[in-house]
Structure 1
Amino acid sequence: MNIAVVTDSNSGISEREAKEWGIYILPMPIIIEDDIYFEGKNITKELFYNSLISGKNVSTSQPSPGNVVNLWESILNDGYDEIVYIPMSSGLSSSCHTALSLALEYKGRVEVVDNHRISVTQKHSVMEAVSLSRNNYSAFDIKRILEKNAYESSIYIAVDTLEYLKKGGRVTPAGAAVGSVLNIKPVLTIQGGKLDAFSVTRGMNKCKKKMIEAIKDDINLRFGDPSTLRIKIGAAGSFLDDEMAVKWKNEVSAAFDNIQVTYDPLAFSIGCHVGPNAIGIGVSKVVCNI
């Protein structure tokens, strides 16, 4: 079977990586005031975060059903037998449920994977799907494997400012004001597709230590025997300064010197809630490596 792997831009996969792995990416719509952009196509991180900072109305949206179907049709018309589509978690957007409904018309030729991930852990799922397809797994079997292991992953995010959590109603104005005065930095987590509070620390350096400690606990306490595991770790961030991104990746690499660490920008759908200069880290237990 000739199987195409498709995901959306919430995975953080670059165009270069998409070409290298032979996958397709559906760009997510970004709305700034009345203008619509598409992540990874015609909007830069500078435009996105500067719009947030300046107080413009910024939001993200799910892809239109027409855009989803048009991409699937073009792929199938290119000679692929089946499609594995890995959208962002159903717990964070309705785009997955929309895709599941659309896929019913394709009678098994399009399998939509709801494995409750986003950002670096969603990327890990895509990489697994590519590897499985190269090993002659069907689209249905790839969906089954990815959904079975959906919760074998974690993401932790620390925010530099409480302003955007306040805008989203996750922190009260009074709480944000007190937090700013005391230099309180919350650490958030995404487990199974929901963004929740994890811990509170004072200062970003303590946040970094807390997140790295949490990843080590996940590996040692949740995922089984570390000596037998296949683990992927991804550093992430909404940094405006590229040097800060390199520094964060190096810090994570130093903490996990036996595991290759990648770095990717946080998806804009997360960036809307956490703002600029947030830091993130994700871990996944994988079946096979690309």
Structure 2
Amino acid sequence: MSNVKIFADSTSDLPQGWKDTYNIGIIPLYVIFEDKTYRDGMDITPEDVYERVAANGSLPKTAAPSPADFMAAFTPAIDAGHDIVYISLSSALSSTYQNALLAAGEFPEGRIKVIDSRTLCGGIALLVMKAVRAASKGHSAAEIADMLERDRDLVETEFVVDTLDYLYMGGRCSGMQNLIGSLLKIRPLLKMVEGSIVPVSKIRGKKEKAVEQMLQNALANVERMDKDLLIVAHTMADEEARHLQTALQEATGVDEIALIPAGCVIGSHCGPQTIGLMYMLKS
């Protein structure tokens, strides 16, 4: 039995079954509405977030776990004799990674390895599952950390946002961009590049066109694709996600294409009806 315990934060949006089966530790980020603070995935649901945004016309704030939060989560595992590998949300998007490093520094050197995933949501989940499999084979925390740092840039993460409203309210596009985008029904196709979110293209017309473009972008990499696991993540877009899952299965022959509903923090920035596709390239 491995002595390495894998941790991630709530933006990995791991299915509960995976967390239970592989004993994965999760540290929640926070969602803040005015004077009330909620733990992502524990105290509030994405549906609650969207309803409150629709009613109030403003987004919640989101916040990273504090170093004390990480210490509280890590201490029982360290006391039980485990080494830890923690895989964080991209450091370009949050202070989560830095706070985890501060916490890790309070424990004996080498016991906790903190990895910047340079991605989010299902992209983190892919790295978590890779780490879990390595731990089950008896690899050390240092070996797993080296593998993740080598392979993290092989993760491909693209997603289609249904509305520009959340990006506008979150300060990620201007009012004019939001107005023009809404009038022209522009659907942004976004991609994680070196830890940051960048626009790949802006598709005019129905959302299906943007999702189809995302699918074709993935299929262009089919020969290089690691077919162990693909992930389709979404925010309340279950039907579209299942259609994309089916299309991927038919085109690639991959057996395991997991559907992952994204949580409150991801949803707070992207909005409902967002759909994403995550996979790894072969090393």
Please report the TM-score for the alignment, with normalisation by the length of structure 1.
Answer: 0.89
Gaps of 5+ in 1: none
Please say if 1:217 is aligned against 2:217. Answer: no
Q: Secondary structure at the match of 2:48?
A: helix
CA RMSD in angstroms comes to 2.0
Residue 229 of structure 2 aligns with an amino acid whose one-letter code is: K
> Residues 208 and 6 from structure 1, CA distance in 2 versus in 1: closer, same or farther, beyond 3 angstroms?
same
- Equivalent position SS for 1:6: strand
Question: 1:80 aligns to what SS in structure 2?
Answer: coil
CA contact (8 A) 1:150 1:192 kept: no
Output the CA distance in 2 between the equivalents of 1:114 and 1:177. 35
Give the CA deviation at 1:182.
Answer: 1.7
Residues 170-222 of structure 1 deviation map (CA, whole Å, 9 limit, x = unaligned): 322222222212221111111232011110112211101110111123444xx
Does 2:82 align with 1:85? Answer: no
Q: Within 2, Cα distance between the matches of 1:103 and 1:219?
A: 38
Structure 2 match to 1:235: 232
Distance, in Å, in 2 between the alignment partners of 1:15 and 1:36 is 23
Cα 1:125–1:212 change in 2 (3 A) is: same
The 1-side partners of 2:202 and 2:174 are apart by: 15
Q: 1:104 and 1:285 mapped to 2: Cα distance?
A: 32
Specify the SS of the correspondent of 1:150: helix
- Does residue 171 in structure 1 map to residue 140 in structure 2? no
Among 250, 253, 256, the alignment partner of 1:254 is: 250
Q: Which residue of the partner structure matches residue 58 of structure 1?
A: 60
Is 2:265 the partner of 1:269? yes
The separation in 1 between residues aligned to 2:117 and 2:58, in whole angstroms, is: 33
Matched letter for residue 230 of structure 2: I
Q: Deviations over 1:88-140 (max 9, x none)?
A: 11121111022112212321111111231211110011111111111111101
Check conservation: 1:231, 1:283, Cα contact below 8 A. no
- Give the letter aligned to residue 43 of structure 2: N
Q: CA deviation at 1:57?
A: 3.9
Mapped partners of 1:119, 1:19: distance in 2: 18
Corresponding residue of 1:282: 278
Tell me what 2:39 maps to. Answer: 38
Gaps of 5+ in 2: none
1:66–1:119 Cα change, 3 Å: same
Q: Aligned to 2:105, what secondary structure does the other structure show?
A: helix
User: Cα–Cα, structure 1 residues 285 and 259, in superposed 2: closer, same or farther, change >3 Å?
Assistant: farther
Paired amino acid for 1:256: T
Letter in structure 2 aligned against 1:82: D
SS in 1 for 2:153: coil
Give the share of equivalent positions with the same residue, in percent: 29
8 Å contact kept, 1:120–1:264? yes
Kept in 2: contact 1:156–1:190 (CA 8 A): yes
In structure 2, distance between residues paired with 1:69 and 1:190: 29
Within 5 Å, give how 1:169-208 maps onto structure 2. 169-202=171-204, 203-208=206-211
Residue in structure 2 matched with residue 128 of structure 1 by the alignment:
130
Retained in 1: the 8 A contact 2:222–2:252?
no
Change (3 A) 1:244 1:51: farther
What secondary structure sits across from 2:94 in the alignment?
coil
- From the superposition, tell whether residues 153 and 167 of structure 1 become closer, same or farther in structure 2 (CA, over 3 Å): same
- 8 A contact 1:156–1:188 mirrored in 2: yes
Distance 1:12 1:149 in 2: 20
Are the aligned partners of 2:235 and 2:274 in contact in 1 as well (CA < 8 Å)? yes
Write the mapping of 1:85-164 to structure 2, written as runs, cut at 5 A: 85-106=86-107, 107-164=109-166
CA distance in 2, matches of 1:8, 1:169: 24
